[in-house]
């Protein structure tokens, strides 16, 4: 109808009112069509990222809406891990530092980078949030999988460490180990007081009182006393 009225109007035939009415009707129909197309497009569900549909929640015929989850879409190319870290390490954990993530169920570990360090300390358990990200080749690491986050909070160059099992403590609280020295052609037990540093797993750092050439008594260290004679085998 608009095309017909326009053709007549261009030839100066017909009234302007008829032409404007046809034009308004045409534009109203175009706007209505655009609105319907937009509404129709809203029936299509799009994920904000590429991935694989892992689960579809509603069954055929059931209602679906914005307040109900419809599908679970997963992209395992890159995953992240969140953990709660004690506030004692808040000065040691920095953004972009590297950590080690261990997966007990897989028996392997991977290096990851700290992407975010929380600024809020939870008053319930005195911890703050740490988020790390790492690549996930072949999708082997799964969501909600148990992982252990190992963060290096201390580093020392040329540190001297010994097994913590051989370190003893006297009644005054001083730490010591046993070594030996030759006295009148007899090897006798000697007590060395130590200043300890940080410890990790089964090792302890020695700050003072020991050098790398000292031979320490390991097995039977708790059965000897200073001055006892020992024989080397």
Phi/psi class of residue 97: alpha, beta or left (left: φ > 0; alpha: ψ in -120 to 50)? beta
Domains of the chain: 2-39 (no CATH), 78-150 (2.40.30.170), 161-230 (2.40.420)
Q: Tell me what pLDDT residue 61 has.
A: 83
Q: Which residue has the tokens 């080690």?
A: 100
pTM of the model: 0.52
Low-confidence ranges of the chain (pLDDT < 50): none
Residue identified by tokens 């940080």 is 198
């Amino acid at each position: 109808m608009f095309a017909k009225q326009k053709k007549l109007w261009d030839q100066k035939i017909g009234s302007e009112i008829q032409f404007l009415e046809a034009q308004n009707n045409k534009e109203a129909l175009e706007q209505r069509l655009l609105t319907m197309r937009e509404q129709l497009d809203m029936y299509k569900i799009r994920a904000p990222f590429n991935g694989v549909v892992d689960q579809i929640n509603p069954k055929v015929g059931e209602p679906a809406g914005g307040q109900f989850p419809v599908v679970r879409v997963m992209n395992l190319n890159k995953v992240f891990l969140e953990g709660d870290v004690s506030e004692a390490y808040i000065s040691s954990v920095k953004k972009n530092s590297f950590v080690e993530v261990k997966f007990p169920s897989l028996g392997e570990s991977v290096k990851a980078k700290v992407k975010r360090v929380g600024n809020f300390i939870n008053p319930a358990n005195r911890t703050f949030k740490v988020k790390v990200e790492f690549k996930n080749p072949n999708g082997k690491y799964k969501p909600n999988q148990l992982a252990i986050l190992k963060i290096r909070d201390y580093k020392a160059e040329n540190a001297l460490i010994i097994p913590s099992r051989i370190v003893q403590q006297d009644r005054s609280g001083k730490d010591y180990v046993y070594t030996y020295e030759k006295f009148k052609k007899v090897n006798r037990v000697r007590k060395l007081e130590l200043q300890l540093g940080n410890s990790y797993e089964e090792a302890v750092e020695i700050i003072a009182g020991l050098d790398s050439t000292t031979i320490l008594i390991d097995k039977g260290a708790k059965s000897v006393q200073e001055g006892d004679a020992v024989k080397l085998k």
